[in-house]
């Protein structure tokens, strides 16, 4: 018995020869969800900069690159904070990127970036301040402001409607940071 033959032109699926660029692009872009591992890898790659070499560890110091081009964060202000410029004798083997002329003769430098070191004890104190103590003070200010608003609403016979997060802000007491 002859079965009716389906015309290939009426198929719902596109054959390889009938796929459009839009269809191919859509397949390539449909799944936009990244896993946490993929996101972590993207974060790592964003931090990696192949134009600046990795600075070798210097015992007792945190090492980093500073810019000489930022007028709001100058090398002089970093020096007052305790940063020291890394010189050729501090990191043997980096002879090709030692500044030979200009303001920073003898220092490790690539374009406008200059290598610096900060005593580890001071670095840890800076990190404690920037990533624990200062945010905690800001949180306390928010709690104080919220309490003032609650009191003012109560005095005028009203009440303050707060989000769950705002209600919990004063109840959270984080442990001291890991930087000490």
| 91 CB-near residues (< 8 Å, 6+ apart) | 55, 56, 58, 108, 115
The DSSP line for the chain is: -PPPPPPGGG-SSPPGGG--HHHHHHHHHS-----HHHHHHHHHHHH--TTSPPPPP-TTEEEEEEESS-TTS-HHHHHHHT-EEPBGGGSTT-GGGB--SSTTTTBBEETTEEEEEEEHHHHHHHHHIIIIIHHHHHHHHHHHHHHHHHHHHHHTT------HHHHHGGG--PPPPTT-
> What pLDDT score was predicted for residue 80?
97
pLDDT the model gives residue 95:
77
Q: Which of 28-32, 109-113, 115-119, 137-141 is the least confident region?
A: 28-32
- pLDDT for the residue 69: 95
**pLDDT digits 0-9 by tens, 73-95:** 999 999 999 999 999 889 887 87
pLDDT recorded at residue 30: 55
Q: Confidence band (pLDDT; 50, 70, 90) for 54?
A: confident
Going from N- to C-terminal start, the domains of the chain cover 61-119, 122-171
- Is residue 6 pLDDT above 60, yes or no? no
- In this prediction the pTM is 0.59
- How far apart are the C-alpha atoms of 148 and 57, rounded to whole Å? 49
Nearest to 60, CA basis, from 122, 102, 12 = 122
Lowest mean pLDDT among 8-12, 38-42, 123-127, 153-157: 8-12
Residue 144 predicted with pLDDT over 80: yes
Q: What is the mean pLDDT of the chain?
A: 80
Determine which of 35-49, 50-64, 110-124, 137-151 has the lowest per-residue pLDDT on average: 35-49
């Amino acid at each position: 018995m002859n079965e009716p033959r389906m015309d290939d032109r009426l198929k719902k699926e596109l054959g390889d020869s009938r796929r459009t660029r839009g269809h191919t692009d859509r397949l390539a872009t449909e799944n936009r969800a990244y896993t946490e591992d993929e996101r972590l890898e993207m974060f790592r790659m964003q931090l990696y900069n192949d134009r600046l070499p990795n600075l070798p560890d210097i015992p007792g110091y945190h090492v980093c690159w500073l810019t000489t081009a930022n007028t709001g964060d100058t090398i002089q202000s970093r020096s007052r904070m305790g940063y020291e410029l890394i010189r050729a004798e501090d990191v043997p083997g980096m002879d090709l990127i030692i500044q030979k002329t200009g303001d920073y003769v003898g220092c490790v430098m690539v374009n406008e970036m200059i290598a610096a070191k900060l005593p580890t004890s001071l670095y840890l104190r800076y990190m404690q301040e920037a990533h624990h103590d200062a945010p905690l003070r800001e949180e306390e200010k928010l709690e104080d402001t919220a309490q003032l608003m609650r009191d003012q609403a109560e005095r005028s016979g009203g009440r303050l409607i707060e989000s769950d997060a705002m209600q919990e802000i004063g109840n959270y007491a984080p442990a001291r940071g890991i930087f000490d």
